[in-house]
Structure 1
Amino acid sequence: MNTMTYNGYHARIEFDAEDDVFFGKIAGISDIIGFHGDSVAELKKAFHEAVDDYLETCRRIGK
């Protein structure tokens, strides 16, 4: 299994050959947070943004 890690969060990464895109979901949290990118660099950036947005949302709602 392919994974990425950022700021203590892990994501499972897959590749969709039909759509020619990488996609992932943040693991180990009760919410479903997904992200995608056309390249590894885009995927990594999208993952970082997803984690940062998730943490900001949790902070705002007191979660």
Structure 2
Amino acid sequence: MDYLEYKGYKGSVEYSKADNCLFGKVLGMSKDLILYEGNTIDELRADFEAGIDNYIAGCVADGIEPRKPYSGTLNIRISPEIHSKIAMLAQEAGTTINGYIKQALEEQLKLAHQ
């Protein structure tokens, strides 16, 4: 899927057959919804960027920090057995559980992009 990027935000690019237009939404924003549309890619991009700018300006006006998609904090649920195994492997590697999982994910992502 293609996406738009602006000021650290990414947005989808989709087509509505029923409305005969392009549309999208900012990805990774679980608590805020930013939608945009246009008849051309240039119009879509302009509405996307205006949506981001308006969102940021609204947050500043309200005195709140604009949310960033994908904060870097990820909570996962795993079995106690896997948790225990990861803890032991992390200790053997001389790192934390978080550090061990981060390294494993980075290695997996490198493999996926080869």
TM score, norm. by length of structure 1: 0.91
Unaligned runs of 5+ in 2: 65-114
Higher share in helix? 2
Paired-residue identity, %: 32
Q: Deviations over 1:2-53 (max 9, x none)?
A: 2110111100111012211000101122201101001111001000100000
Higher Cα Rg: structure 1 or 2? Answer: 2
Q: With a CA cutoff of 8 Å and minimum separation of 6, indicate the structure with the bigger relative contact order.
A: 1
SS at match of 1:32: coil
Counterpart in 2 of 1:18? 18
1 or 2, which has the higher strand percentage? 1
- More displaced, 20-29 or 42-51? 20-29
How far apart in 1 are the matches of 2:36 and 2:4?
12
Q: Distance in 1 between matches of 2:45 and 2:38?
A: 8
Count of aligned pairs between the two proteins: 63
Structure 1 vs Structure 2 CA RMSD = 0.9
- Residue 53 of structure 1: aligned partner: 54
2:35 aligns to what?
A: 34
User: What TM-score do the two structures reach when normalised by structure 2?
Assistant: 0.53
Large movers: runs of 4+ above 4 Å: none
* Contiguous gaps of at least 5 residues in structure 1: none
